[in-house]
């Protein structure tokens, strides 16, 4: 799904709302003039068990169908190699490491050896017992689907109280159709989903003024992710202002704010070993630190509004509200509980945070549904004859939004090819079987979740101490971003092929498995070109009329220019007299010097033809570099730093008998 919002698709939202309103109006008119609904209600009341059980049995059927569809899709997507290192691979490794006694250990996000250096997600430990039973990423996917389904339970009971049995069934149906919910379910696994049913239950208990169990739910939610601290502030203000329980409300708000600031300013940075919250860069226009950001929010409101009120963010809000027929706006008091979470999403300049195809809206969903319930109740109380119409409008808006903006089966954005496990994915999975389970691995993003149950797994192009590197040359190039991500990825693959320390062990349909091997540079030498390039060895095969040459290069620092390598066979007495030559950029022009990694060997091969009619005798093979076409050559020097001119006299070559 292309989640970039443009005004050209605004008519779709208008169409959904218009269809919902007109259908709701028509149903209201029919219901008030036709006695059929009343007779159906009377018949149900005459059969108490059916009247009591039919609603929850219907919702149970919805839940069963939802689990069957979305768990099947999640599993198929995983085996079709469409889950990612960020984030299924990360969470799988963290939970697996924790089950092995290495709590929160992580190697995929190399900037922080502990996952707590990114998020305070203590409730991930609740996943560990599941891994004792079945240690597999699919366990996380299954638990996630169950947690999402569990979120509907408190929503159902609140709708049952406020809207009756029919209203509870309609709201539950809209929950399972909600586009953002389906995308959360299909986008890997995320710890924020653990908070969804807890927040839904906590909201229900708070609205019922059952404060002690509410506080228990809030504590669990706070242990799920640091951002829940600001939800706690909203809860506290609601309790104080709407429920007039001032002490409790202000205490909850103050506690949430204190925990949130402590997490962002001290706890998370301490685990990461820095003094800055890792994700603060998403709000870089506000300042370089949390304190600067707070000052900017207060002193430069116009700057903030400029970043918040954009077309993309308008589309994000509409995609959240239109499936609920805008009813959360009418039930605004409950919807305000979502305001802190919505606020930090809208304040960000990261476009992913205002896209429903990712996990970020997950924390908003329970509050939006409670707001929709309150909105539907408010309209029904104001215009009792419209009660059935409101529920009909809600259902039509949910169905229309699912078809146009959802990602599941029968929706416009459904992509069946994402779930095709046949063909290439099977070959990739077969190659993975050749990697020992205990071996450290570097792999491409969509391969990592199948290799993440090991102590050390890295996201290519980071390699570190990996013993194996697994690549998919037809796959997702993340984390190499646009622009030029494909070029940069191809260069990284070429570096692997050109590195003599790595042996290409298997290759099949674009999948490449490299194995680290002991390697001694042949014919070691020590020459420098310029101040950053070293020639550390070479191999040469004299074929009489040509030379096959392999040069082993090493950069000591990043190189900012593309140099052409010169290989000249020259007269001993007159270096200007050339009898054989091959000039091109390294590795057949495929690996420019700008793509070299400092310290990494580059094996650079050449076939140098000796010119016809060259007199037999001893010649000198000279090697150097220059900027094509006619730029100056880099200065050459030997191991002692003695200048050698503009080329390296590498070795003597015999031409002829």
Q: What is residue 49's predicted lDDT score, i.e. its pLDDT?
A: 59
Instruction: State how far the Cα of 402 lies from the Cα of 404, in Å rounded to an integer.
Output: 6
Q: What is residue 330's predicted lDDT score, i.e. its pLDDT?
A: 96
Reported as a single tens digit per residue, the pLDDT across 598-640 is 999 999 999 999 999 899 999 999 999 999 888 899 999 999 9
Q: What is residue 384's predicted lDDT score, i.e. its pLDDT?
A: 85
Tell whether 194 and 291 lie within a shared domain. Answer: yes
In a domain, 178, yes or no: yes
Mean pLDDT in residue range 346-360: 93
Over its C-alpha atoms, the chain yields an Rg (Å, rounded) of: 32
Instruction: State how far the Cα of 553 lies from the Cα of 412, in Å rounded to an integer.
Output: 52
Q: What is residue 629's predicted lDDT score, i.e. its pLDDT?
A: 85
In a domain, 521, yes or no: no
Tell whether 358 and 401 lie within a shared domain. Answer: yes
Q: What is residue 19's predicted lDDT score, i.e. its pLDDT?
A: 94
Q: What is residue 487's predicted lDDT score, i.e. its pLDDT?
A: 86
Mean pLDDT in residue range 524-540: 96
Checking if the pLDDT of 295 tops 80, the result is: yes
In a domain, 110, yes or no: no
Residue 226 CB neighbour total at 10 angstroms: 23
Checking if the pLDDT of 648 tops 70, the result is: yes
Q: Which domain holds residue 294?
A: 7-82+136-417
Reported as a single tens digit per residue, the pLDDT across 97-111 is 999 999 999 999 988
Reported as a single tens digit per residue, the pLDDT across 318-334 is 999 999 999 999 999 99
In a domain, 91, yes or no: no
Reported as a single tens digit per residue, the pLDDT across 416-459 is 999 999 889 999 999 999 999 999 999 999 999 999 999 999 99
Reported as a single tens digit per residue, the pLDDT across 49-100 is 544 678 889 999 999 999 999 999 999 999 999 999 998 999 999 999 999 9
**∠ CA 77-78-81 to the nearest 5 degrees?**
90
Residue that terminates a domain, selected from 454, 483, 516: 516
Instruction: State how far the Cα of 641 lies from the Cα of 327, in Å rounded to an integer.
Output: 77
Q: Would you give the distance in Å from CA 359 to the centre of its chain?
A: 9
In a domain, 127, yes or no: no
Pair 109, 90: CB distance under 8 Å: yes
In a domain, 522, yes or no: no
Tell whether 231 and 318 lie within a shared domain. Answer: yes
Reported as a single tens digit per residue, the pLDDT across 178-216 is 999 999 999 999 999 999 999 999 999 999 999 999 999
Closest CA to 249 of 213, 282, 204, 211: 211
Tell whether 408 and 484 lie within a shared domain. Answer: no
Reported as a single tens digit per residue, the pLDDT across 417-429 is 999 998 899 999 9
What's the whole-model pTM score? 0.89
**∠ CA 406-409-411 to the nearest 5 degrees?**
40
Strands 457-459 and 441-443: parallel
Residue that terminates a domain, selected from 417, 451, 468: 417
Task: Supply the mean pLDDT for the chain.
Answer: 92
Residue 248 CB neighbour total at 10 angstroms: 16
Tell whether 643 and 539 lie within a shared domain. Answer: yes
Mean pLDDT in residue range 286-307: 89
Q: What is residue 545's predicted lDDT score, i.e. its pLDDT?
A: 85
Checking if the pLDDT of 38 tops 80, the result is: no
Reported as a single tens digit per residue, the pLDDT across 545-559 is 889 999 999 999 999
Checking if the pLDDT of 220 tops 50, the result is: yes
Tell whether 284 and 380 lie within a shared domain. Answer: yes
Tell whether 477 and 563 lie within a shared domain. Answer: no
> How many CA atoms lie less than 13 Å away from 39 in the CB half-sphere?
4
Tell whether 323 and 344 lie within a shared domain. Answer: yes
Return the percentage of the chain with pLDDT > 70, whole number: 95
Pair 84, 449: CB distance under 8 Å: yes
In a domain, 560, yes or no: yes
Mean pLDDT in residue range 382-394: 90
Mean pLDDT in residue range 653-657: 86
């Amino acid at each position: 799904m292309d989640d970039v919002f443009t005004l050209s698709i605004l008519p779709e939202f208008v169409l959904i709302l218009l269809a919902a309103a007109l259908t709701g109006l028509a149903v209201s008119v029919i219901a008030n003039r036709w006695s059929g609904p009343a007779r159906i209600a009377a018949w149900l009341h005459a059969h108490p068990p059916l009247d009591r059980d039919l609603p929850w049995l219907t919702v149970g059927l919805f839940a069963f169908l939802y689990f069957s569809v979305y768990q099947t899709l999640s599993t198929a997507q995983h085996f079709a190699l469409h889950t990612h290192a960020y984030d299924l691979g990360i969470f799988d490794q963290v939970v697996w490491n924790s089950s092995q006694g290495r709590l929160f250990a992580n190697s995929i996000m190399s900037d922080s050896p502990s996952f707590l250096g990114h998020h305070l997600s203590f409730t991930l430990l609740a996943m560990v017992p599941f891994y004792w039973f079945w240690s597999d990423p699919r366990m996380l996917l299954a638990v996630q689907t169950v947690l999402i389904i569990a979120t509907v339970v408190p929503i159902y009971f609140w709708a049952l109280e406020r809207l009756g049995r029919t209203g509870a069934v309609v709201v539950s149906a809209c929950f399972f159709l909600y586009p953002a919910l389906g995308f959360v379910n299909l986008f890997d696994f995320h710890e924020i989903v653990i908070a969804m049913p807890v927040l839904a239950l906590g909201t229900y208990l708070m609205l019922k003024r059952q404060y002690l169990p509410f506080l228990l739910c809030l504590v669990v939610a706070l242990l799920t992710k640091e951002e829940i601290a600001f939800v706690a502030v909203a809860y506290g203000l609601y309790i104080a202002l709407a429920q007039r329980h001032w002490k409790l409300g202000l205490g909850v708000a103050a506690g949430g704010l204190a925990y949130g600031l402590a997490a962002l300013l001290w706890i998370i940075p301490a685990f990461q070993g820095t003094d800055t919250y890792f994700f603060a860069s998403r709000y870089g226009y506000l300042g370089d630190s949390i304190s600067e950001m707070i000052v900017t929010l207060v002193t430069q409101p116009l700057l903030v509004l400029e970043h918040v009120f954009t077309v993309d963010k308008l589309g994000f809000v509409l995609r959240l509200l239109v499936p609920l027929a805008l009813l959360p706006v009418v039930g605004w008091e409950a919807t305000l509980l979502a305001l802190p979470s919505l606020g930090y999403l809208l304040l960000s300049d990261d476009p992913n945070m205002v896209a429903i195809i990712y996990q970020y809206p997950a924390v908003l969903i329970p509050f939006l549904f409670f707001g929709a319930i309150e909105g539907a109740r408010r309209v029904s109380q104001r215009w009792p004859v419209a009660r059935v119409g409101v529920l009909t409008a809600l259902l039509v808006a949910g169905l229309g939004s699912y078809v146009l903006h959802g990602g599941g089966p029968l929706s416009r954005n459904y992509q069946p090819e994402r779930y095709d496990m046949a063909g290439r994915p099977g070959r990739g999975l077969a190659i993975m079987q050749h990697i020992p389970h205990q071996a450290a691995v570097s792999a491409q993003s969509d391969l990592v979740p199948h290799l993440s149950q090991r102590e050390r797994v890295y996201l290519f192009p980071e390699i570190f101490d990996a013993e194996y590197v697994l690549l998919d040359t037809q796959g997702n190039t993340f984390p190499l971003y646009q622009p030029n991500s494909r070029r940069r990825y191809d260069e990284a693959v070429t570096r692997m092929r050109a590195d003599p320390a790595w042996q290409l062990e298997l290759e099949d349909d674009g999948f490449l498995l490299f194995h680290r091997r002991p390697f001694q540079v042949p014919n070691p030498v020590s020459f420098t070109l310029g101040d950053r390039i070293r020639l550390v060895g070479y191999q040469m095969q004299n074929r009489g009329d040509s030379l096959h040459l392999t040069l082993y290069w090493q950069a000591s620092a990043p190189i900012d220019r593309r140099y052409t390598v010169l290989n000249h066979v020259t007269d001993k007495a007159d270096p200007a007299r050339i009898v054989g030559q091959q000039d091109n950029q390294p590795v057949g022009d495929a690996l420019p010097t700008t793509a070299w990694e400092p310290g990494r060997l580059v094996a650079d091969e050449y076939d140098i033809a000796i010119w016809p009619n060259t007199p037999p005798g001893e010649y000198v093979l000279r090697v150097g570099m220059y900027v094509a076409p006619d730029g100056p050559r880099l200065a050459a020097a030997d191991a002692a730093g003695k200048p050698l001119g503009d080329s390296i006299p590498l070795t003597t070559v015999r031409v002829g008998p």
